[in-house]
Amino acid sequence: MNPTLDTADGRNVLRIERRFAHPMEKVWRALTDPVHLAHWFPSPVEEIDLRPGGKIRFGGTHPELPIGTGEITEFDPPRVLAFTWYDDPLRWELRPDGPGCVFVLTHTFADRPMAGSFAAGWESCLSALESALAGNPTELKPAPDGYAGRHDAYAEAFGLDEGELSEDADGWTIRFERNIPHPIEKVWPALGGSTAPEAGGFPPPGAVVDAVPAGEVTAVAAPELLEYAWPSGGEPLGRVRWELTGGHPAGTRVVLTQTGSAGERERCAAALTAWHLRLELLADRLRDAERPDRGERAADLERRYAARVEAR
């Protein structure tokens, strides 16, 4: 597996290449026959009309992937099959490679934070395809063993864990948006701790960092929203806001923002670093992992964010 993530025409393009030790004709059947697709493709394919413009009907296995249709946009057997999968274009290409072949999957989509989920998901699908081709079909699980670790590794490799800084006449905003591959019922307690936060109180340890002195909680709606002022004491200079959205295959979407005044711009690099590490720590702990080089990691992030802020 060697996934790459690029952009084209304002959309994200995930490309994955994998070699199979099977001839093209055998792999082509696995890509086009609904009986074979059932062993590895994430949506049941109930009907497929194999011709340019032909329709594909998908069955629904959960609410996020309902019954729907796609259309074949490119058909060149046994080399190319391209079609729409709900709103996303998919393109599969085969090319001979000795006694086997190389399979190239291209997935185009709009929601960039989903790239880690798609990469980890397709990795599982292609492993299931390889098993089926070898005569050992396995059940395709929604979240197979090791999925969270692979998801987080791809998110880091693609830069999906990076924070953004925007500025205007009123000040600045730091923003992180990423998927956490766990249900919201697990993410919120990891963020909030054992005591539920309340308006007027102080935010829980999992939602704060040393670089941003936390003030009173200004809004809370468990398990979806936590907002508090900063700094503690005196007139607030800005807000920290955690927004969580669950209920989809990728787990939980987390959007973290911090606002500040133009006069506090020198805090931006340290805050970006601290929030990056906080989200990283949250993801690591949810999958029971620990990084031994966290101090070195913090120094590297601070250098990177400082250079980015300085260059603006």
3-class secondary-structure state, position 231: coil
* pLDDT value for 2: 85
Nearest Cα residue to 171 out of 45, 264, 89, 80: 264
Segment (H or E) for 283: helix 268-286
* pLDDT value for 121: 93
User: In the chain, which stretches have pLDDT less than 70?
Assistant: 1, 60-67, 141-143
* pLDDT value for 232: 75
* pLDDT value for 140: 72
| Domain boundaries defined on the chain | 4-157, 164-311
* pTM, to two decimals: 0.92
Helices 184-192 & 268-286 angle (0-180, nearest 10): 130
Helices 147-157 & 268-286 angle (0-180, nearest 10): 160
Q: Which amino acid does the sequence have at 248? A: H
Nearest Cα residue to 158 out of 126, 116, 195: 116
CATH number assigned to the domain covering 164-311 = 3.30.530.20
Nearest Cα residue to 208 out of 226, 184, 235: 226
Q: Which residue has the tokens 């796609």?
A: 70
Residue 151, token pair as written in the block: 């998801």
* pLDDT value for 141: 65
Beta bridge partners of 241: 227, 257
Q: Which residue has the tokens 């998110």?
A: 155
Cβ within 8 Å of residue 72, ≥6 positions away = 48, 49, 50, 51, 52, 53, 54, 55, 56, 81, 82, 83
The CATH number of 4-157, from 3.40.50.150, 3.30.530.20, 2.70.70.10, 3.40.1190.10, is 3.30.530.20
Residue 77's CB: how many other CB atoms inside 10 A? 13
What stretches of 134-267 show up as alpha helix (H) in DSSP? 147-157, 184-192
